[in-house]
Amino acid sequence: MRFRHVVITGASRGLGASLARRFAAPGVRLGLIARDEAALAGVAADCAARGALPQVARCDVREAEALARIVAGWEAEAPVDLAIANAGISAGTRPDGRAEGLAALRAQIEVNLLGAVHLVEAVLPGMQARRQGSLGLVASLAAFRGLPDSPGYCASKAGLWAYGEALRAGLGPRGLRVTLIAPGFFESAMGERWVGPRPLSLTAGAAADRIARALQQGDAQLAFPWPLAWALRLAPLLPAAAVDALVRRMAFQVREG
């Protein structure tokens, strides 16, 4: 499947920037959204060098009305046939042992879950009217099991996964595709703040390649790397006390920043 107009949130760095470069091709429109305008401009220049037609917008995905206006303007120029909800933040236990706290937990849910919903709500009317379009929701392997050092992040990604499953079941008969994406560790500024084990970590480019392939194939879901994905998906079948003890041994902290 070849996409002609792709909108990506969190596109200024990391996975979002790698996805933008991955989809950049002659004649492809790219709508790139993030909060860092300077970094967005750099990604857009890379994409333009590949022949793409990038447009950028500085926007916080928590601002539903502003995001909707941006998408409506791009839709008026050309139908969006792929929207990737990728923007995300993380918090977690601090190096001094402090818990992330209510404000950080709320922010993660607002960005990681509600921010994705805001993008979907912005593109969905046009896709439904055309009975055509694809949605990619970037969750995390953390959606499959709550981890003691990152309750807010896990909750936000678990909510996004459940929301995406509901969307996929409801929109499939209407001609729309929804791909749920659960990456493990990959190189990113957000990931580098984590102090602890990062098993089977990938480069952001390698993760983007896998995700782009799943979106082009219209896959229902993608979770990688598979050893971690299977372990976390099967964890609920084991005694809870044993799994709790295991995840406590995987403790990590998050640097300030």
Is 163 labeled as catalytic in the residue annotation?
A: no
Per the listing, tokens 């937990």 go with 105
Q: Which listed residue (144, 153, 163, 194) is catalytic?
A: 153
Q: Residue 22 and residue 215: Cα distance in Å, rounded?
A: 12
Render the burial of 171-200: b for 16+ CB within 10 Å, e for the rest: beeeebbbbbbbbbbbbbebbebbbeeeee
**Segment holding 223, helix H or strand E:** strand 221-224
Render the burial of 117-153: b for 16+ CB within 10 Å, e for the rest: bbbbebbbebbeeeeebbbbbbbbbbbbbbbebbbbb
Q: Is the dihedral of CA 98, 101, 104, 105 positive or negative?
A: positive
Q: How many CA atoms lie less than 13 Å away from 133 in the CB half-sphere? A: 27
Catalytic residues: 153
